Amino acid sequence: MRRIIVCLKQAVDVAQLKVDAATRQLVTASAPRKMSDFDKNALEEAVRLKEKLGDTEVFTVTVCSEDAKSVLREALAIGADKAYSVNDAAFSGLDTFGTAYVLAEALRKIGGFDLVLCGETSLDSFSGLVGSRLAELLGLPLVSSVRKISVEGECVVAERSLEDAVETVKACMPAVVSVTREINQPRIPSLMMIMKASKKEIVAWSMADLGVSKELLEPKIEVVEVLAPKTERKKIRIKGENATEIAENLAKALVQEGVVGR
Amino acid sequence: MSEFKGVWIFSEKFDLTLEMLGKAREVADKLHSKLSVVLIGSDIDERVNELVRHGADKVYLASDPALERFQVETYLGVLHSLVANYKPEVVLIGSTKNGKPLASRLATRLRVGCVPDCVRLDVDGEGRLVCERITYGGSAFAKIAFRGKPQIATVPQRAFEKPAPKEHDGQVVKIDVKIEPAGTEVVGVKPLGSSSVRIEDAEVIVSCGRGLQNKEDRVLLDELAQALCGQVGCSRPLAEDRKWFSEWVGLSGHKVKPKLYIACGISGVIQHVAGIRDAKVVVAINKDEQAPIFEVADYGVVGDLYQILPALKEAIKKHVQ
Ligand SMILES: Cc1cc2nc3c(=O)[nH]c(=O)nc-3n(C[C@H](O)[C@H](O)[C@H](O)COP(=O)(O)OP(=O)(O)OC[C@H]3O[C@@H](n4cnc5c(N)ncnc54)[C@H](O)[C@@H]3O)c2cc1C
């Protein structure tokens, strides 16, 4: 039986993030969380591979410092067979190294996998480092920025979406693959799938279960500040009786700004 | 006392290497240290001079037929042994789809931090590199420093200006390379038709979003852009979902800095807005007066783009004449 493990992040839903106008601080603590979009693409792809290849199981692993039940349930509803939650309050300040390190230890403990799938980057921090750090820590080949994937025997063949080319790459399994959002359109689980998922297993581990070294969890970077940018836009409404008049008023304003004409 | 010294840069893209040289020179000067470039490839010796003229004090040249194409493991092997050996305090790596995993794995192998996609770089009072990057889907800038060395950061394309070439003294260090086997095999490469015009260089951009109904309606934007001597851009769904365009503006696309950005039928979600922060003047045309784009626009028109755009083209033509 083939085993695919998908790394899933519970991310801040950036679309619902509020900014404190006075301090320009983000109100992240109370912001809703959701499954990071790119990881959802990775999960969808894993489930599609399972459907296509047969004799395959899909597990998910989530490293978090807060409750992620609803994300894990969603993953099971989309089609994962089992979800691992590695949850510990001590993980709250993890940087990309720490996250990859805990993931690597969890993957080692689960073992027996052929393919590790993850999103190319995450919805909230947008760093895009964890997949490659994980490959390095596990000593596995990495195929990043993948927009199409197939399994051929003991290898994966994948199309990588580069800036100026599409590169087709072959790697022997086990391998780590990170996917782009182009790769698929994730399904929306039906009520049936959601109900079926409630019977599936969620395995809960803490830091102690993995025996990770505290020292390696120390962040290697220091976030000095996170501030919303100052938006100093004029916010002027251009009005008029009809399209022609509006257009004329807008054109005049743009000429005055010195951005139209010479 | 830190044993780490020197600012290094590497990118498999030569243009990006040149762009990084300008900013890296400033960082090196602030740290009173030397600026070096790692040049990896095959038959690339003639590029050394250009690097020196753009500010490099030293070029580590790793030339070998086996290095002709970028392969993450082989390039990582070369870069890692150099960095482990010479111990630079700062390593800047071009943030491409290939460069980023390279930087990330280098940092992991060295058990140090990595800050990706830095759009601003500075040195603080303690001589630490301070990086600024866009985070939370474009809602914020994060300032990040490092807790160890080397300090590894990646720099996106077109974040910094390429410096003007001038006379400069530089030294070449030729490296004996050991080739590490690659874990992946490239079995095919299909170049994408790269657009000859770079949207980052456009002075005026007329951009459309899902408010555009049909692919053919693009002509409305083309005509206005032409009247303004500008280019046409779009939001991500028009490229990614509808495939009407190949590139888009925004956090995961191109970050643009035109004098004038006209957003037509674009709602103004933060990921899009993250790409237009550096525009001088932003105009929004949207039929929904509640659309968030109006909050980040200098001039807003509540209206149907199908009526406004043709009228605007005529009005602009009149004024430009
Ligand atoms: C991780 C991540 C990264 C992303 N990166 C990017 C990115 O880099 N760039 C990007 O653009 N998006 C990005 N997105 C997508 C982004 O979240 C939005 O989905 C997208 O920007 C919305 O595009 P839109 O404004 O064209 O469409 P919509 O949000 O659907 O807006 C269409 C607008 O058109 C208006 N409209 C409709 N008809 C007319 C008409 N006739 N005249 C005038 N107005 C009309 C509507 O009122 C509406 O406001 C990203 C998303 C994620 C999750």
Whether the per-residue pLDDT at B321 is higher than 80: the answer is no
- For residue B1, the model assigns a pLDDT of 46
What's residue B44's pLDDT? 92
Beta bridge partners of B40: B62
Q: Token pair of B200, please?
A: 């980052």
Q: Whose CA is nearest to atom 39 of ligand 1?
A: B211
Picking from A218, A231, A251, the nearest residue to B316 by CB comes out as A251
Nearest to A259 among B189, B281, B311 (CB): B281
Q: Would you say the C-alpha torsion A193, A196, A201, A202 has a positive or negative sign?
A: positive
Is CATH 3.40.50.1220 what the domain over B199-320 is classified as, yes or no?
yes
Exposure class string for A249-262: b at 16+ Cβ within 10 A, else e: bbbebbeebebbee
Minimal C-alpha gap between A217 and chain B (Å): 11
CB A59 within 8 A of CB A79: no
Residue nearest ligand 1's atom 48 by CA: B267
**Above pLDDT 70, what percent of chain A?**
100
| Shortest distance, CA B146 to any CA of chain A (angstroms) | 4
Q: If you measure from the C-alpha of residue A238 to the centroid of ligand 1, how many angstroms do you get, rounded to a whole number?
A: 22
Measured distance CA(B137)–CA(A31) in Å, rounded? 13
Taking the centre of ligand 1 as the mean of its atom positions, its distance from the CA of residue B186, in whole angstroms, is 35
Backbone φ and ψ for A13, nearest 5 degrees, come out as -75, 95
Task: Tell which B residues from 155 to 214 touch A, by Cβ distance under 8 Å.
Answer: 157, 183-192, 194, 204
Residue B262 Cβ inside 6 Å of ligand 1? The answer reads: no
With CB atoms and an 8 Å threshold, state whether B297 touches A14.
no
Confidence class for position B194, pLDDT limits 50, 70, 90:
low
Contact A4, A52 (CB under 8 A): no
pLDDT on residue B2: 64
Judge if ipTM > 0.85: yes
Q: CB count, 10 Å around CB of A207? A: 17
Give the mean model confidence (pLDDT) for residues B255-270. 94
- Non-local (6+) Cβ contacts of A203 within 8 A are A82, A83, A84, A85
The pair of structure tokens assigned to B312 is 């605007």
* List of chain B residues whose C-beta atoms are within 8 Å of the C-beta of residue A243: 303, 307-308, 310-311
Question: Sign of dihedral through CA atoms B133, B136, B138, B140?
Answer: negative
C-alpha torsion angle, residues A174, A132, B61, B2 (rounded to 10): -130
The atom number, within ligand 1, closest to the CA of B274 reads 8
Confidence of residue A229 (pLDDT cuts 50, 70, 90): confident
- Cross-chain Cβ contact B72/A244 below 8 Å: no
Instruction: Please tell me the distance between residue B268's alpha carbon and the centre of ligand 1 in angstroms.
Output: 6
pLDDT in tens, A162-189: 988 999 999 999 999 999 998 999 999 9
What confidence score (pLDDT) does residue A262 get?
Answer: 57
Q: Residue B316: closest CA among chain A residues belongs to which residue? A: A251
List of chain B residues whose C-beta atoms are within 8 Å of the C-beta of residue A162: 96-98
Instruction: Express each pLDDT in B28-68 by its tens digit.
Output: 999 999 999 999 999 999 999 999 999 999 999 999 999 99
For the stretch B132-159, pLDDT in tens is: 999 998 889 999 999 999 999 999 988 8
Window 6-35 of B, Cβ < 8 Å to A: none
pTM attached to this predicted model? 0.89
Q: Please report which confidence band the pLDDT of residue B180 belongs to, taking 50, 70 and 90 as the band edges.
A: confident
Domain boundaries, chain B: 7-174, 199-320
Task: Report residue A209's pLDDT band, with 50, 70 and 90 as the boundaries.
Answer: very high
CATH 3.40.50.620 for domain A2-217, yes or no, is yes
What does the pLDDT read at residue B181?
86
Task: Provide mean pLDDT across the span A232-242.
Answer: 94
Q: Answer yes or no: is the C-beta of B210 below 6 A from any ligand 1 atom.
A: yes
Asked if B7-174 and B199-320 have one fold, the answer is yes
% of chain B with per-residue pLDDT over 90: 84
Q: Do residues A134 and A103 lie in contact, with contact meaning Cβ atoms separated by under 8 Å?
A: yes
pLDDT (mean) for B150-171: 93
* Tens digits of residue pLDDT in A20-40: 989 999 999 899 999 999 999
- The residue that leads in pLDDT, B180 or A38, is A38
Smallest CA–CA distance from A166 into chain B, residue: B190
Residue ranges of the domains in chain A? 2-217, 232-262
- What is the atom index within ligand 1 of the atom nearest the CA of B285? 43
The upper half-sphere exposure of residue B21, i.e. CA atoms within 13 Å in the direction of its Cβ, equals 28
Q: What is the pLDDT of residue B118?
A: 96
Q: Quick one: B7-174 is in which CATH superfamily?
A: HUPs (3.40.50.620)
Q: Is it true that the peptide bond before B150 is cis, omega within 30 degrees of 0? A: yes
**φ, ψ for residue A209, nearest 5 deg:** -65, -25
Query: Could you tell me if A80 and B96 are in contact, meaning their C-beta atoms sit under 8 angstroms apart?
Result: no
Q: What's the rounded mean pLDDT across residues A131-151? A: 97
- Give the pLDDT mean for A219-225: 96
**Three state DSSP letters for chain A:** CEEEEEECCEEECHHHCEECCCCCCEECCCCCEEECHHHHHHHHHHHHHHHHHCCEEEEEEEEECCCCHHHHHHHHHHCCCEEEEEECHHHCCCCHHHHHHHHHHHHHHHCCCCEEEEECCCCCCCCCCHHHHHHHHHCCCEEEEEEEEEEECCEEEEEEECCCEEEEEEEECCEEEEECHHHCCCCCCCHHHHHHHCCCEEEEECHHHHCCCHHHHCCCEEEEEEECCCCCCCCEECCCCCHHHHHHHHHHHHHHHCCCCC
Given a cut of 60, whether residue B87 has pLDDT beyond it is yes
> How far is the alpha carbon of B36 from chain A, nearest alpha carbon, in Å?
24
Neighboring chain B residues of A18 at a CB cutoff of 8 Å: none
Among the partner residues A127, A137, A236, nearest to B299 by beta-carbon distance: A236
Tell whether the model's pLDDT for residue B197 goes beyond 90: no
Which of B146, B204, B303 lies closest to A220 in CB terms? B146
Query: How many whole angstroms separate alpha carbon A11 and alpha carbon A244?
Result: 46
**CA-based nearest residue in chain B for residue A11:** B136
* Residue B280 buriedness (CB in 10 A; 0-12 / 13-18 / 19+): middle
Chain mean pLDDT for chain B: 94
Per-residue pLDDT of B218-256, as tens digits, reads 999 999 999 999 999 999 999 988 989 988 999 888 889
pLDDT above 70 coverage of chain B, percent: 98
Instruction: Give me chain A's average pLDDT, please.
Output: 95
